[in-house]
Amino acid sequence: MEQFGDSKGQVFLVIDPDGYRPNVGIILLRNDCRVFWARRVSRDGWQFPQGGMRTDETPEEAMYRELREETGLMPDDVELLGATPGWLRYKLPRRFVRQRQKPLCIGQKQVWFLVRLLSSDQRVKLDTCAKPEFDRFRWVDFWYPADHVVHFKRGVYRRALSHFEPLVG
């Protein structure tokens, strides 16, 4: 497993031997069964919160860190409802693969989590870290993201939503 550090000296898992970067994805569910949908800063791309794992984290620990960094929510603000039993993978389109970067990253592998919001929507803060990932959010129907995320992530989104659908409602 190739590794690299960030500006804080924290080590992230970068790329596994198959070329995938370990990552977590988070589906944040409200009591009305709508899900959190956020717009990436300075882009028109919308997605669920997600992020890379550090070498010293379990997927669940990475999920809570990413949740805090990207939404401002703390573990007490949510209830963990479930996780995918293994990795869900997607490949990056060829134009996004950095051919000169070694080792070569061809996509991401993700453990997905479903969490229910226990606190008020007002607790969501997109600017809790120095470089926010999102600048807007809204609550959408459960299946909306499967058809509206960038095309190369749609298969993973459908598999994650299908896995969690029995837990919703």
The dihedral of CA 131, 71, 3, 14: what is its sign? Answer: negative
Dihedral, CA atoms, 135, 136, 140, 144, nearest 10 degrees? -50
Round to whole Å and give the CA distance between 101 and 122: 41
35 token code pair? 């899900």
CA-angle at 34, arms to 117 and 132, nearest 5°: 65
In angstroms, the Cα distances linking 139 to 37, 53, 88, 89, 113 are 6, 26, 24, 25, 17
Tally of CB atoms within 10 A around 93: 10
Contact call for residues 62 and 24 (beta carbons, < 8 A): yes
Contact call for residues 128 and 72 (beta carbons, < 8 A): yes
The amino acid at residue 105 is C
pTM of the predicted model over 0.85: yes
Bond from prior residue into 132 cis (ω within 30 degrees of 0): no
What tens-digit pLDDT sequence spans the chain (169 residues)?
444 445 455 555 578 889 999 999 999 999 999 999 999 998 889 999 999 998 889 999 999 999 999 999 999 999 999 999 999 999 998 877 887 777 778 899 999 999 999 999 999 999 998 999 999 999 999 999 999 999 999 999 999 999 999 999 7
Contact call for residues 25 and 31 (beta carbons, < 8 A): no
At residue 145, φ and ψ (nearest 5 deg) are -60, -30
pLDDT of residue 9: 52
The DSSP call for residue 31 is T
CATH 3.30.470.20 holds for 2-167: no
The dihedral of CA 53, 56, 60, 62: what is its sign? Answer: negative
pLDDT of residue 15: 85
Domain map of the chain by residue range?
2-167
